[in-house]
Amino acid sequence: MNIHEYQAKELLADFGVGIPAGHAALTVEEAVEAAKKLPGPLYVVKAQIHAGGRGKGKFKELGPDAKGGVRLAKSIDEVRADAQDMLGNTLVTVQTGDEGKQVNRLYVTDGVDIAEEYYLALLVDRASGQVAMVVSTEGGMDIEDVAHSTPEKITTITIDPAQGFMPHHGRAVAFALKLDGDLNKQAQKLAKQLYEAFMALDGEMLEINPLVETKDGKLLVLDTKMSFDGNALYRHPKVEELRDETEEDPAEVEASKHDLAYIKLDGNIGCMVNGAGLAMATMDIIKLNGAFPANFLDVGGGATTEKVTAAFKIILSDPAVEGILVNIFGGIMKCDIIADGIVAAAKEVNLSVPLVVRLEGTNVEKGKEILENSGLPIVSGDNLGDAAEKIVAQVKKAA
Ligand code: ADP
Ligand code: MG
């Protein structure tokens, strides 16, 4: 789960991390009030969307010469004008895709006199089973570009969670950032606070870009992105409350309500499968037959009629879907029960695209019979290869 920049900053502040003062705003008036609470005379108005690259982004509704989603304002009036410009409009950045994201929240924060910009991120490194702290002197730019053209400017320090953060980790971070004296000490302290926050909140990723050194010698977090391990959210009700569903794909939000694992993809064949491994194999075999899956969807072990119906509705809510392949192995759940569910669901959603079903497992013959006698144009697949061939052919025929 992702959260907004201002929310991540508020969480980090609880761990003692240095953050410029700022306030969130949902309306132009709130943005003005937020600015009035800050010392000035330099303010920064920042669009809050779940995507980076806002500074260089462009608003769809404003001309190509208009400023982006991170704006320096030199007076309260400028803050008001920037807020009016941004709220409700669509910001397109390198991370949003062409459709962009509507800006519904702003963050009004202190303008900082920047001397240097650095990069610091924490990640779960699955290969080593440790926390990786990725540090670079090249802040403020795309880290992917730095990794590509000057990989020597990136240092990775791994921390064993069983041992925890040790003073030498902090020294390594400060050394990688080439900091001396008091700034070196600040970097060591900051690295420790960030590690503590990351572990305490079950973070998945915490990226600070840029971390800045101010002209008066302070290290401050100027921009941050944070995401969390969804499986650990139950331990952090305070974090769970920060979820902004307007930032998520509506079909994925609906799927999570029914405990379905759904991810939208670019193709035109909707897939409904039980088990993640089988779902991956199903997507592969659709591709092998020259078509592309419209989604990954794992209905899980207990594929009840309600779940199957919800899954059909979610698949069909995607206008790109031109056919559906159901591939279910009846192990714990018997095939006849699943077939009943499929028939009931297909009737309820008024299925308008070809449907191929491949069932295997307990009571498979009974299941196939139910599909055949349903009066619905459901095609049975004898095995996975046959089912994939059939759905691809049906979709091609309809096109
Ligand atoms: P994004 O990464 O989405 O473009 P950032 O918050 O990193 O957004 O802002 C882009 C750039 O704007 C930063 O690299 C920094 O140079 C400048 N900036 C951001 N916040 C401030 C601030 N509070 N004071 C001064 N400059 C800022
Ligand atoms: Mg940034």
- Mean of the pLDDT values across residues 378-394? 94
- Residues 32-56 as b/e (b if ≥16 CB within 10 A, e otherwise) read bebbeebeeeebbbbbbbbbbbbbe
Q: How far is the CA of 116 from the centre of ligand 1 (A)?
A: 12
Per-domain boundaries in the chain = 21-110, 114-240, 250-398
Q: How far is the CA of 263 from the centre of ligand 1 (A)?
A: 31
pLDDT, residue 350, reads 84
How do beta strands 355-361 and 323-330 pair?
A: parallel
* Nearest-CA residue for atom 23 of ligand 1: 111
- Mean of the pLDDT values across residues 370-379? 92
Q: How far is the first Cα of the chain from the last one, in angstroms, to the nearest whole number? A: 38
Please choose from 54, 59, 70 the residue to mutate so as to test ligand 1's pocket, defined by most ligand atoms within 8 A of CB: 70
pLDDT, residue 47, reads 98
How do beta strands 101-102 and 70-73 pair?
A: unpaired
Specify whether 119 is catalytic: yes
pLDDT, residue 337, reads 85
CB 135 within 8 A of CB 120: yes
CB 289 within 8 A of CB 321: no
- Report phi then psi at 282, rounded to 5: -65, -45
Mean of per-residue pLDDT scores for the chain: 94
Beta bridge partners of 3: none
Residue 54, ligand 1, Cβ within 6 A: yes
Tell me which DSSP letter residue 381 carries. P
What is the fold of 114-240?
A: D-amino Acid Aminotransferase; Chain A, domain 1 (3.30.470)
Please choose from 49, 222, 225 the residue to mutate so as to test ligand 1's pocket, defined by most ligand atoms within 8 A of CB: 222
Options 3.40.50.261, 3.30.70.890, 3.40.605.10, 3.30.420.10; which CATH number does 250-398 get? 3.40.50.261
Ion ligand 2 residues within 5 Å by Cβ: 209, 223
pLDDT bucket at 40, cuts 50 / 70 / 90 = confident
CATH class of 21-110: alpha beta
Q: At what angle do helices 167-176 and 181-200 cross, to 10 degrees?
A: 120
Catalytic residue selected from 6, 107, 118, 119: 119
Burial class (CB in 10 A: 0-12, 13-18, 19+), 282: buried
Q: How far is the CA of 114 from the centre of ligand 1 (A)?
A: 10
pLDDT (tens digit, 9 = 90+) per residue, 349-363? 888 899 999 999 999
* Nearest-CA residue for atom 11 of ligand 1: 55
Specify whether 207 is catalytic: yes
Nearest-ligand number for the alpha carbon of 93: 1
pLDDT, residue 352, reads 85
- Mean of the pLDDT values across residues 247-254? 88
Residue 302 has pLDDT above 80, yes or no: no
CB 150 within 8 A of CB 138: yes
Q: How far is it, in rounded angstroms, from Cα 140 to Cα 132?
A: 20
Q: How far is the CA of 42 from the centre of ligand 1 (A)?
A: 13
CB 222 within 8 A of CB 240: no
pLDDT bucket at 97, cuts 50 / 70 / 90 = confident
Question: Smallest Cα–Cα separation from 345: which of 319, 314, 373?
Answer: 314
- Mean of the pLDDT values across residues 303-318? 86
pLDDT, residue 331, reads 82
- Mean of the pLDDT values across residues 111-119? 97
* Nearest-CA residue for atom 13 of ligand 1: 140
Q: How far is it, in rounded angstroms, from Cα 353 to Cα 334?
A: 26
Q: How far is it, in rounded angstroms, from Cα 144 to Cα 141?
A: 9
Q: How far is it, in rounded angstroms, from Cα 322 to Cα 391?
A: 10
Residue 140, ligand 1, Cβ within 6 A: yes
pLDDT, residue 190, reads 98
Tell me the percentage of the chain whose pLDDT exceeds 90. Answer: 80
Catalytic residue selected from 5, 204, 207, 213: 207
Residue 22, ligand 1, Cβ within 6 A: no
pLDDT (tens digit, 9 = 90+) per residue, 259-278? 899 999 999 999 999 989 99
Nearest-ligand number for the alpha carbon of 9: 1
Beta bridge partners of 92: 58
- Mean of the pLDDT values across residues 152-159? 96
pLDDT, residue 108, reads 98
pLDDT bucket at 34, cuts 50 / 70 / 90 = very high
CB 69 within 8 A of CB 96: no
Nearest-ligand number for the alpha carbon of 207: 2
* Nearest-CA residue for atom 5 of ligand 1: 223
pLDDT, residue 173, reads 98
Task: Tell me which H or E stretch contains 358.
Answer: strand 355-361
- Mean of the pLDDT values across residues 337-345? 87
Beta bridge partners of 119: 136
Q: How far is it, in rounded angstroms, from Cα 14 to Cα 299?
A: 39
Residue 301 has pLDDT above 90, yes or no: no
Q: How far is it, in rounded angstroms, from Cα 229 to Cα 212?
A: 27
Q: What is the pTM of this model?
A: 0.83
Nearest-ligand number for the alpha carbon of 138: 1
Residue 210, ligand 1, Cβ within 6 A: yes
375 contacts: CB under 8 Å, gap ≥ 6: none
pLDDT, residue 349, reads 83
pLDDT bucket at 134, cuts 50 / 70 / 90 = very high
Tokens of 258: 């029914």
pLDDT, residue 256, reads 86
pLDDT (tens digit, 9 = 90+) per residue, 180-212? 999 999 999 999 999 999 999 999 999 999 999
pLDDT bucket at 166, cuts 50 / 70 / 90 = very high
CB 50 within 8 A of CB 244: yes
Tell me the percentage of the chain whose pLDDT exceeds 70. Answer: 100
- Report phi then psi at 58, rounded to 5: -130, 145
- Mean of the pLDDT values across residues 200-225? 97
CA-based torsion, 6, 12, 13, 19: positive or negative: negative
Residue 216 has pLDDT above 90, yes or no: yes
41 contacts: CB under 8 Å, gap ≥ 6: 74, 75
